[in-house]
Amino acid sequence: MKTAVYPGTFDPITRGHLDVIRRGSHIFDELIVAVGSNPHKKPLFSLQERMEMIRAEVTDLPNVSIDSFEGLLVDYVRSRGTNIILRGIRTIADFDYEFQMALTNRKLGGDIETVFAMASEEYSFLNSQLIKEIAEMGGDVTPFVTPAVARALQERLGGTV
Ligand code: ADP
């Protein structure tokens, strides 16, 4: 049984994240989407809201579960009985940061392995921050997030969808 943990802030979940989740669910027997509660990031949506939004989008993937974590990611990964982290890579701009994180987690966690999935190129420019800014200014975010997430953004930020 190969289990992987896909950690992130998911504030909110985008079509890019969903693409990575779908790919991960095909590669691993079990995929745990782990939502970080990192308060330094001051997320727009609460931990509970972010988890619910993800849960609603993956109902067709029986081997995907949603959880939250705080503290060191490597400790959380161990506590779930695995050593595999899944991360997404968009462009070369992600590479430096992800490379640093992967090697740091390996140093901290011993045999921790980070596996990277590349989202489809149509999502490679997407990030949650940009989507929040578009929603805030009343732009249409439906190409970037699912209808339910677009509605949640509209309710929270007051943009037009
Ligand atoms: P974090 O705050 O940990 O970076 P994010 O929610 O921003 O959390 O991202 C979680 C993971 O998903 C990261 O590995 C990030 O590179 C990846 N990711 C985010 N958006 C995309 C996308 N559009 N395509 C591929 N990977 C993505």
pLDDT tens for each residue of the chain, 161 residues long? 999 999 999 999 999 999 999 999 999 999 999 999 887 888 999 999 999 999 999 999 999 999 999 999 999 999 999 999 999 999 888 999 999 999 999 999 889 999 999 989 899 888 999 999 999 999 999 999 999 999 999 999 875 44
State the CB neighbour count (10 A cutoff) for residue 110: 10
Q: Which amino acid is at 157?
A: L
Q: Is 90 a catalytic residue?
A: yes
Active-site position among 15, 23, 90, 132: 90
User: For position 119, what pLDDT does the model report?
Assistant: 87
Q: Which of 11, 15, 20, 35 to mutate to test the pocket of ligand 1 (most atoms within 8 A of CB)?
A: 20
Q: Which residue has the tokens 């027997």?
A: 29
User: For position 41, what pLDDT does the model report?
Assistant: 83
Length reported for the chain: 161
Cα–Cα dist 132/57, whole Å: 19
| Residues flanking ligand 1, CB < 6 Å | 8-10, 14, 16-17, 20, 87-88, 90, 94, 119, 123-124, 126-128
Residue 109: CB partners within 8 Å, gap ≥ 6?
74, 75, 77, 78, 83
Counting atoms of ligand 1 from 1, which one is nearest the CA of 118?
25
